[in-house]
Amino acid sequence: MFTRENGGAIDPNYLTHRFHKLVMASGLPPVRLHDLRHGAATLALAAGADLRVVQGLLGHASIVLTADTYTSVLPQMYFDNARATAQTVLRAARKTARRVRKGDAVEV
């Protein structure tokens, strides 16, 4: 909800119209006011915010809605997660290989 300086509510239609005029005047590509909400959520997730935190910020009743809506737009997150997983596996393999070379028992 947006308010005026005196605390009074701003009519949503006025706000949408004013925002549209500002976007047009800026020369930026067309964007809806609601798109800012999506952009903020996407940027928060890209920055590493927990999905539950983003869910709460957006007021979604279900984390599934948040996940379905926002995680698909961040392919970099998939790449980063895959890389981190691979690094974890490689570290564990190196540690195991060192133990095997030393003759230590390896727990499975």
pLDDT of residue 104: 66
Give which of 104, 77, 45, 7 is closest to 53, Cα–Cα. Answer: 45
The predicted pLDDT at position 105 comes to 61
- Residue 3 has φ and ψ, to the nearest 5°, of -130, 160
pLDDT tens by residue, 69-86: 887 767 777 788 889 999
pTM for this entry: 0.58
| CA dist list (Å): 96 to 11, 53, 86, 91 | 64, 37, 15, 9
State what percent of residues in the chain have pLDDT above 70. Answer: 93
Mean pLDDT of 36-51: 88
Average pLDDT over residues 11-38: 91
pLDDT digits (tens, 9 = 90+) for 46-73: 888 999 999 999 999 999 999 888 877 6
